[in-house]
Amino acid sequence: MIMDEQDYVTALYRTVLNREPDPDGLRDWTALLRKGGDPTAVLAGLLDSAECRAKADGTNVEDSNVLVSAVAAELAGRSLTVVDVGAQNLSYEGHIYQPLCTPGIAHRVIGFEPLLDRVCERETSERGSNVELLPYAVGDGNRQVLYINNEDATSSLFPLNVDFNAQFEHLFGLRTLKQVPIETKRLDDVLPPGPVDFLKLDVQGAELMVLQGAEQTLRRTAVIHCEVEFAPIYTGQPLYCEIQSFLASHGFCLIDILISHRYSYVVPSGRSAGDRLLWGDAVFFREEADAAMLLAQALAGLLVYNKPTLSEHLLARRDAMTGETLAGLFHEASPKI
């Protein structure tokens, strides 16, 4: 039997999550496949979801609510600040930091997206939320060229590496439609003062450029969620090893690499297999954190990444600083957490 795209997505939900797909997930994943997206991306996305990880390690997400409420209360009324660089909505996935933007947690999102139509699209879809979107290309503060591609989520300050991409399924179809001169802005110059609890970077090869223009910002940043490439999808782009080295020199440690994306080589047989790791999302936490930063890290560790021992460890470090006993809440929730 040959499945259509919707049947395939439904079968994956039943197999991986043991349930029927939710309407939004079914719609978005099906749309991705109908646009020629990699079918393995659906499986990878479901396997890397918090729901799947919770099933795998026995975590009862509902039982974490007592911990979330306690940590949120300890923030003493201040809002968590999320900075989203590359803030357009994607049809096939939600915003990674969405668990931090729940009604029980005071929050604000400051987003940067150079494509004005994508800014308008997100403003329309999230009207009334605590999201401020700015139509800036974040970079080194100099004049650059924005390469706008046929899949605009792949648009970049670096040109596509056409010869390299021609080897791989899906990537071989990427093309630059136009080149637009653009003034970039440094994060250090456009962000308001105060803590940055969660910094997300999705800038298609320009991650190091953004980070180099954010050295003051990094000193007040708790968590960085950064798209990284392991191979040169864009010509001249820095790769993962350079980003990790830069962040390590600025006090950040690698926590995990998530949502790894593997691609099939284009071969005469037409066979498809995810044989080459090309990019993924890397998670970094600041190592020398004060009590407030440890609290934000613990909340992100639990809610965004489903890492209960990391969160308990961070709260224990905070307890040692403050004399409080937040880490003890994990004992109350055991053994489910």
**Local confidence pLDDT in tens for the 337 residues of the chain:** 456 778 778 877 777 776 777 666 777 788 788 777 777 778 777 776 656 655 555 444 444 676 677 777 777 778 899 999 987 876 556 788 888 887 778 888 998 888 787 878 787 777 767 888 888 889 999 999 999 999 888 999 999 999 999 999 989 999 999 999 999 999 999 999 999 999 999 999 999 999 999 999 999 999 999 999 999 999 999 999 999 999 999 999 999 998 778 889 999 998 888 899 999 999 999 999 899 899 999 999 988 998 989 999 999 999 999 888 887 777 655 544 4
Would you tell me how many other CB atoms lie within 10 Å of the CB of residue 316? Answer: 16
- Domains of the chain, start order: 58-333 (3.40.50)
- pTM value? 0.80
Closest listed residue to residue 310, CA positions, set 233, 254, 262, 272: 254
Radius of gyration over alpha carbons of the chain, in Å?
20
134 token code pair: 């700015």
Q: Quote helix, strand, coil % in the chain, to nearest 5.
A: 40, 25, 35
> Please, which residues bridge with residue 84 across strands?
111, 200
Edge-to-edge strand order for the sheet containing 143-149?
137-138, 176-185, 143-149
